[in-house]
Amino acid sequence: MPSAARPPARPASGGSGGLLGIVILVLVAGGVGFLVWHAKSAKSAAAASAKRVDLSIPITPGKVRRQEVSIYYDGLGTVQAFNTVTVRPRVDGQLIQVAFTEGQNVHSNDLLAKIDPAPFQAASDQAIAKKLQDQAQLDNARLDLQRDLDLTNIVTAQAVDTQSNMVRQLEAVVKNDQAGIDSSKVQLDYTTILAPLDGRCGIRQVDQGNIVHAADSNGVVTITQLRPISVVFTLPEQEVGVVSRKLAQGPVQVLAMDRDNKTILDTGTLAVIDNQIDTTTGTIKCKATFPNTDLSLWPGQFVNPRVLVDITNCLVVDENVIQRGPDGPYVFTVQGEGSNLVAKLTPVNVQMQEPLALISQGLNEGDTVVVEGQYRLEDGSKVRVEADPPVAPPGAADPARRSGTRDATNRPPGNPPSKLAGQ
Query: Which range among 26-35, 172-181, 246-255, 325-334 shows the weakest confidence by mean pLDDT?
Result: 26-35
Q: How many Å apart are CA 360 and CA 407, to the nearest integer?
A: 41
Contact 232, 206 (CB under 8 A): no
Residue 55 has pLDDT above 70, yes or no: yes
Q: What is the pLDDT of residue 374?
A: 86
Contact 254, 231 (CB under 8 A): yes
Q: What is the pLDDT of residue 207?
A: 96
- Pairing state of beta strands 264-273 and 253-257? antiparallel
Residue 48 has pLDDT above 80, yes or no: no
3-state secondary structure the chain: CCCCCCCCCCCHHHHHHHHHHHHHHHHHHHHHHHHHHHHHHHHHHHHHHHHHHHCCEEEEEEECEEEEEEEEEECEEEEEEEEEEEECCCCCEEEEEECCCCCCEECCCCEEEEECCHHHHHHHHHHHHHHHHHHHHHHHHHHHHHHHHHCCCCCCHHHHHHHHHHHHHHHHHHHHHHHHHHHHHHHHHCCEEECCCCEEECCCCCCCCCEECCCCCCCCEEEEEEEEEEEEEEEEHHHHHHHHHHHHHCCCEEEEECCCCCCEEEEEEEEEECCCCECCCCEEEEEEEECCCCCCCCCCCEEEEEEEEEEEEEEEEEHHHCEEECCEEEEEEEECCCCCEEEEEEECEEEEECCEEEEEECCCCCCEEEEECHHHCCCCCEEEECCCCCCCCCCCCCHHHHHCCCCCCCCCCCCCCCCCCCC
Residue 328 has pLDDT above 90, yes or no: yes
More reliable by pLDDT, 29 or 88: 88
pLDDT grade, residue 357 (50/70/90)? very high
Q: Place domain 72-81+230-309 in its CATH homologous superfamily.
A: Efflux pump adaptor protein, beta barrel domain (2.40.30.170)
Q: Is 332 exposed, middle or buried (0-12, 13-18, 19+ CB in 10 A)?
A: buried
Residue pLDDT, tens place only, 181-194: 999 999 999 999 99
Residue 138 has pLDDT above 90, yes or no: yes
Contact 329, 323 (CB under 8 A): yes
Q: What is the pLDDT of residue 285?
A: 96
Q: What is the pLDDT of residue 415?
A: 38
- Looking at the chain, how many residues does it have? 423
pLDDT grade, residue 236 (50/70/90)? very high
- The per-residue pLDDT of the chain, averaged, comes to 84
Residue 348 has pLDDT above 70, yes or no: yes
pLDDT grade, residue 392 (50/70/90)? very low
Query: Which range among 28-32, 55-59, 304-308 shows the weakest confidence by mean pLDDT?
Result: 28-32
pLDDT grade, residue 137 (50/70/90)? very high
- Pairing state of beta strands 382-385 and 341-347? antiparallel
Average pLDDT over residues 117-130: 96
pLDDT grade, residue 17 (50/70/90)? low
20 Cβ neighbours under 8 A, 6+ residues apart: none
pLDDT grade, residue 411 (50/70/90)? very low
Q: What is the pLDDT of residue 398?
A: 37
266 Cβ neighbours under 8 A, 6+ residues apart: 255, 256, 290, 291, 292, 294, 296, 297
| Residue spans per domain, the chain | 57-69+314-389+397-403, 72-81+230-309, 89-113+194-219, 117-190
Residue pLDDT, tens place only, 145-173: 999 888 878 888 898 999 999 999 999 99
Residue 405 has pLDDT above 50, yes or no: no
How many percent of the chain have pLDDT more than 90? Answer: 68
Integer angstrom CA distances of residue 389 from 1, 250, 342, 359, 373: 102, 52, 23, 32, 16
CATH class of 57-69+314-389+397-403: mainly beta
More reliable by pLDDT, 27 or 372: 372
Please, what's the b/e burial string for 367-388 (b: 16 or more CB within 10 A of its CB; e: otherwise)? Answer: bbbbbbbbebbeeebebbebee
pLDDT grade, residue 375 (50/70/90)? confident
Residue 395 has pLDDT above 70, yes or no: no
Q: What is the pLDDT of residue 219?
A: 94
Residue pLDDT, tens place only, 262-317: 899 999 999 999 999 999 999 999 999 999 999 999 999 999 999 999 999 999 99
pLDDT grade, residue 52 (50/70/90)? low
Contact 381, 417 (CB under 8 A): no
320 Cβ neighbours under 8 A, 6+ residues apart: 371, 372
Q: How many Å apart are CA 136 and CA 82, to the nearest integer?
A: 53
Does CATH number 2.40.50.100 belong to domain 89-113+194-219?
Answer: yes
